[in-house]
Amino acid sequence: MTLSKNDPLEALARCKRTCFDLTLLDYEMPLMSGSQLAQEAKLLVPDVPVVLISGRSTLPAAELAFVDARFGFGTALDDLLWTMRILVPPKVARVEDHRADRRAMTQWADST
């Protein structure tokens, strides 16, 4: 599930009552920068990785203190997607899911 908020204060309120796997922020936002929102989000949910996107090619190191990954001008979409996959480990599947996967594999093998 993906949630999108245009207001950083609304996003912070959402952080307090929703469980997230990853936070993807724009650097340029109204009311506060993406770096400021990253800091506030990390105080609420320290284990959730923060990815910051900016149209700038560089940002001061102080702006990245609470950011796990940053992408600026010229970043390839594949790099962003790859990094998000690394930052969010796969969820452990339930036993029922494994049984369904095995049944599907067995049915596929029998049909070939």
pLDDT of residue 87: 94
Instruction: Render pLDDT for 38-70 as a digit per residue (tens, 0 to 9).
Output: 999 999 889 999 999 998 888 899 999 999 999
Task: Give a three-class secondary structure readout of 28-65.
Answer: CCCCCCHHHHHHHHHHHCCCCCEEEECCCCCCCHHHHC
The one-letter amino acid at 10: E
Q: Which of the pair, 19 or 78, is modelled with greater confidence?
A: 78
Task: Give me the pLDDT at residue 95, please.
Answer: 56
According to CATH, what is the number of the domain 8-111?
Answer: 3.40.50.2300
Residue 106 above 80 pLDDT?
A: no
What's the pTM value of the predicted model, to 2 decimals? 0.73
What are the extents of the domains in the chain?
A: 8-111
